[in-house]
A and B are shown apart, each in its own frame.
Chain A
Amino acid sequence: DTAVSQTPKYLVTQMGNDKSIKCEQNLGHDTMYWYKQDSKKFLKIMFSYNNKELIINETVPNRFSPKSPDKAHLNLHINSLELGDSAVYFCASSQVFKREGPRLNEQFFGPGTRLTVL
């Protein structure tokens, strides 16, 4: 009964390869995100999707392509991997409550995928 799951947990690959990381949430949330944590532990948003629609696309190389087949899934495909892509990638999800008053944006994070490019 994991809330946000990612596969694989570890990914070791050679430069130039293409790889994908999968993310699934069973919380019924309508928004999903990808964050990147670099070697200095700095966490930065890459993408966010709301109801399968791209909302945020930060300055990320176009070798990175997110795909959301449905609200519960947000996968990250990376082409032509480079050494600098080595990082931990976190998926997250949240629900925006459309009620009176402020919306909530509490994000639930997956366990992370540690990508190592050799």
Chain B
Amino acid sequence: AQKVTQAQTEISVVEKEDVTLDCVYETRDTTYYLFWYKQPPSGELVFLIRRNSFDEQNEISGRYSWNFQKSTSSFNFTITASQVVDSAVYFCALSEALQAGTALIFGKGTTLSVSS
């Protein structure tokens, strides 16, 4: 069965601190996709990244970086030098590449609060 666990329910940091959001997943498939979405207070879901199971390279995009480790089934997200605008709920999600219409399985989300 597929499952995504985000053990951190809430994290509070002060601006300019680095913060890592954890994501652990379970799947029996060898081919799958992992995602991170951001949900700011305005409510929309903003796509951040997709990672394929066959590509374990870490990725950096500005202050954001992602560490994919198949050995530990983890796909962690780090924000460097956090800013108040980073305050949001962050969701990790898993999709198995079986057929059209395959849904995303979401973790329960981590609420990040960045104070000035």
Interface residues of A, Cβ cutoff 8 Å to B: 30-31, 33, 35, 40-45, 48-51, 55-56, 88, 90, 96, 102-109, 111-112, 114
A112 touches B101 (CB 8 A): no
A48 touches B52 (CB 8 A): no
A48 and B103 in contact (CB under 8 A), knowing A109-B45, A111-B43, A112-B44?
yes
Interface residues of B, Cβ cutoff 8 Å to A: 31, 33, 35, 37, 39, 43-45, 47, 50, 52, 54, 89, 91, 95, 97, 99-106, 108-109, 111
Lowest 6 CB-CB distances: which A-B pairs, in order? A55-B101, A45-B103, A48-B101, A50-B100, A109-B45, A43-B106
B104 touches A108 (CB 8 A): no
Q: Which residues of B contact A40 (CB under 8 A)?
A: 108
The residue on A at minimum CB distance from B32 is A102
A43 touches B44 (CB 8 A): no
A111 to B45, CA, bound (A): 7
A55 and B100 in contact (CB under 8 A), knowing A105-B33, A111-B43, A112-B43?
yes
A42 touches B108 (CB 8 A): yes
The residue on B at minimum CB distance from A46 is B103
B44 touches A111 (CB 8 A): yes
A108 to B39, CA, bound (A): 13
Q: Identify which of B50, B101, B106 gathers the most chain A CB atoms within 10 Å of its CB.
A: B101
Among candidates B33, B50, B54, B109, residue contacting A41 with C-beta atoms closer than 8 Å: B109
A33 to B109, CA, bound (A): 20
Q: Least Cβ distance of B10 to chain A in Å?
A: 11
Q: Least Cβ distance of B54 to chain A in Å?
A: 8
A102 and B52 in contact (CB under 8 A), knowing A40-B108, A45-B104, A109-B44?
yes
Q: Least Cβ distance of A87 to chain B in Å?
A: 12
Q: Which residues of B contact A30 (CB under 8 A)?
A: 100
A41 and B108 in contact (CB under 8 A), knowing A105-B95, A109-B44, A112-B43?
yes
